[in-house]
Structure 1
Amino acid sequence: MRTPTRPARRVLAATVIAVGVTALSGCVESNRPAEDSAAGTECPFEADESVTSTVRIAYQNIPNGDLIVKDQRMLENCLPNANITWNKFDSGGDVIQAFGSNSADLGLIGSSPATKALSAPLNIPMKVIWIHDVIGKAESLVVRDESINDIKQLAGKTVAVAFSSTAHYSLLQALQDAGMDPAKDVSLVNLSPDKMPSAWEGGQIDAAWVWDPTLSELLKSGGHIVLSSEDTAKAGKPTYDLGAATTAFIDANPGFMTAWAKAQNAAVEQIHNQPDEAAVSIGAVMGISPDDVKSQFDGYEYLTAAEQAGPDYLGGKMAKDLQDTAGFLLAQGGITAVSPPQVYEGGVDAKPAEAAAQ
């Protein structure tokens, strides 16, 4: 979704209410048979009955620890007196709109949407609190024409991407690095991943920068990969799937935030040490096989709480990465102004990761 201009900001709340209704109606539950349900999984750390938070979590179908936490009901088992609702969203742009309209408290967003949220004209009071994954080959530019093997050959073609997503940021970066003008040399179409396969089959798009499971679906339909987010990261523009929450929720619910980070860290450790079990849970939520999930793990890097709390990530460099992303987005017209450095520094909170690492 395009970043709203200042006049459009007045209707942001109404737009988000509609998005929120769509997300609520589109919730995806585990497709695991009832007898194999993970609902009875024990809390991986000491449960805390004192936490009574009410939280609305925005999740996306991306193969990382967040889906393990959801499927195995870690939060529900660890915080039995909390009121927890999971709502599915299709992109980080939708999630930050939900933050802006107070229809979500905590959720998964990419580093590009996070930057937009902390920049003008949105200026949403929220903080990055977790790194669900560092994006690599999992987000890629898939092309229909087998003769095209360089992004420059997409001149005059129609390319689909979810606007305001990390994929959108990587695509714009790749076009710029190739000396192309995204506004003139290609036709960019804003499509959510679930809409891309039908547009692909109908010949309405020539390429798409997207993530799994849509990426795999387009590859099976005759596409091939030309570039990936791993390539743009090597060019100095890394992208992440992040956990973020509104500042008001963080301040009012410190106990929940600590337990949430501990659950996320337990899920990361499960991916590292018990990938088969992790793949079953992720596949149950996404509706794909565990084998398909495991094949996607290589496209991401999953960091433990201790790694995240360090100076290379939440404990230091993340704020600079967001500020650098803002500079690029400003040049592309994605935001109207880069916020002062202290805004991005204040927009990153390493305390939940630090608590989970203890």
Structure 2
Amino acid sequence: MTQSRVRILSLAALVGAAALALSGCVDSGRTDNPDSEQGGASGECPVEVNEEVTTSARLAYQPIPNGDLVVRDLGWLEACMPNAEITWDQFSSGGEVVRAFGTDSVDVGLAGSSPTTKSLSPPISNDLQVIWIHDVIGEAESLVVQQNVDAGSLPELEGMRVAVPFASTAHYSLLAALDREGMTPSDVELINLSPDAMLAAWEREEIDAAWVWAPTLQQLLETGEIVLSAADTAEEAPTFDLAAATTAFVEENPDFMEVWTAVQNEAVTMINDDPDTAAASIAVQLGITPEEVLSQFDGYLYLSASEQSGEQYFGGTLGQNLIDTADFLVTQQEIDEVNPPEEYENAIYTDAIDAVAGQ
């Protein structure tokens, strides 16, 4: 099922004003990648500033082209909560973020729906709340085969070396695709590689295929071809890039959560209504060109707070999506057992999204 990007509909005057204001926040000529900095630009807060928030927040982000990178690049959290202490740490996959939650190293972090579900389930059982959907994953995560490998379908990869970051949404999509073909993980040689390690293994021809996301996906496509994508498995196994936070942090910092959600919503508005400005900002964070970012946007669906608060997501079926993911993961022996349904449903935090959606 191919996902198309959504254009957020709002009052024309508000959109025009927001686009004008936001476009002034990004210097499209910036080329530095501020991995060691809190943000690449000092942007003005796009929502109401809250000086009463004084908490310390440790944020885990990933190099994925979504609103989280806009927020980081423009320094919106720092501008909107000037008295908070905010630190950002980069991770290569959702599995790494889950481990960071397990060691109490982060408070809020981006992880895919599969690793998030795994984190909520035994034996890990982290006490987390799902707080935001950064994106719905489509063709942005795909299975790529080396050009010199004679395989045009998943069954033709039987016995071959397939790399994927374990406990990621890509891993979940691959398992779902194998299951749909009547295959098991043992029918291929699965190799656990993070995206940053995958490119070197690909160039040395140590792997035959890989299921991964941007920007590594685009690098592999220079000498590879797509066989499948998450869009092909979306009907039976939809995947998302989610934001999660520890339950303790959410309960202790409701004001922080509302501001965090509000600026994420502003970033989604920028991506959908002013993609050139958003791409310029994300390009700095990813170290690629804005044109490359724009091409990657089409592989994702970006949802506003009002869309996320509806019945299809936080207002209804998102909890069931986590349950369905857990049901599948237990059949693949990725988790020990599935929690009672209410434990997944109770892990959906709606207060901040509902507040922002109602503004």
Fold shared per TM-score above 0.5: yes
Structure 2 distance, partners of 1:287, 1:239, is: 26
Indicate the residue corresponding to 2:129 in structure 1: 127
Amino acid corresponding to residue 232 of structure 1 in structure 2? T
Indicate the residue corresponding to 2:291 in structure 1: 291
Structure 1 distance, partners of 2:161, 2:33, is: 35
Aligned with 1:155 (options 153, 158, 175): 158
Per-residue CA shift, 1:296-351, capped at 9, x if unaligned? 00000000000001110011101000000001100000000000000000111121
Per-residue CA shift, 1:148-196, capped at 9, x if unaligned? 211100001000000000000000100111111112x100000000011
Structure 1 distance, partners of 2:324, 2:338, is: 9
Per-residue CA shift, 1:114-136, capped at 9, x if unaligned? 10111100111001010000000
Aligned with 2:89 (options 80, 87, 90): 87
Partner SS, residue 125 of structure 2: coil
Amino acid corresponding to residue 151 of structure 2 in structure 1? I
Aligned with 2:77 (options 75, 78, 82): 75
Q: Does 1:300 align with 2:289?
A: no
Structure 1 distance, partners of 2:149, 2:196, is: 23
Structure 2 distance, partners of 1:352, 1:154, is: 45
Structure 1 distance, partners of 2:344, 2:40, is: 38
Deviation at 1:31, TM superposition (A): 2.4
Deviation at 1:355, TM superposition (A): 1.5
Structure 1 distance, partners of 2:287, 2:42, is: 20
Structure 1 distance, partners of 2:221, 2:33, is: 24
Q: Does 1:196 align with 2:185?
A: no
- % same residue: 55
Indicate the residue corresponding to 1:225 in structure 2: 226
Structure 1 distance, partners of 2:188, 2:108, is: 35
Partner SS, residue 241 of structure 1: strand
Partner SS, residue 233 of structure 2: helix
Structure 2 gaps of 5+ residues are 1-30
Deviation at 1:38, TM superposition (A): 5.4
Structure 2 distance, partners of 1:40, 1:227, is: 40
Indicate the residue corresponding to 1:321 in structure 2: 321
Indicate the residue corresponding to 1:337 in structure 2: 337
Structure 1 distance, partners of 2:353, 2:79, is: 20
Per-residue CA shift, 1:230-277, capped at 9, x if unaligned? 00003x210000010000000000010000000000000000111111
Residues matched between the structures, number: 323
TM-score normalised over the length of structure 2: 0.88
User: CA RMSD, aligned part only?
Assistant: 1.2
Amino acid corresponding to residue 168 of structure 1 in structure 2? H
Q: Does 1:168 align with 2:171?
A: yes
Indicate the residue corresponding to 1:23 in structure 2: none
* Paired residues for 1:8-19 under 5 Å: none
Q: Tell me which protein shows more helix as a share of its residues.
A: 1
Partner SS, residue 230 of structure 1: coil
Q: Does 1:111 align with 2:137?
A: no
4+ long deviations beyond 3 Å? none
* Paired residues for 1:23-42 under 5 Å: 31=33, 39-42=41-44
Structure 1 distance, partners of 2:176, 2:66, is: 25
Amino acid corresponding to residue 110 of structure 1 in structure 2? G
Structure 2 distance, partners of 1:315, 1:44, is: 26
Amino acid corresponding to residue 351 of structure 1 in structure 2? D
TM-score normalised over the length of structure 1: 0.88
Partner SS, residue 84 of structure 1: strand
Amino acid corresponding to residue 313 of structure 1 in structure 2? Y
CA contact (8 A) 2:140 2:299 kept: yes
Structure 2 distance, partners of 1:244, 1:67, is: 16
Structure 1 distance, partners of 2:88, 2:138, is: 26
Q: Does 1:280 align with 2:283?
A: no
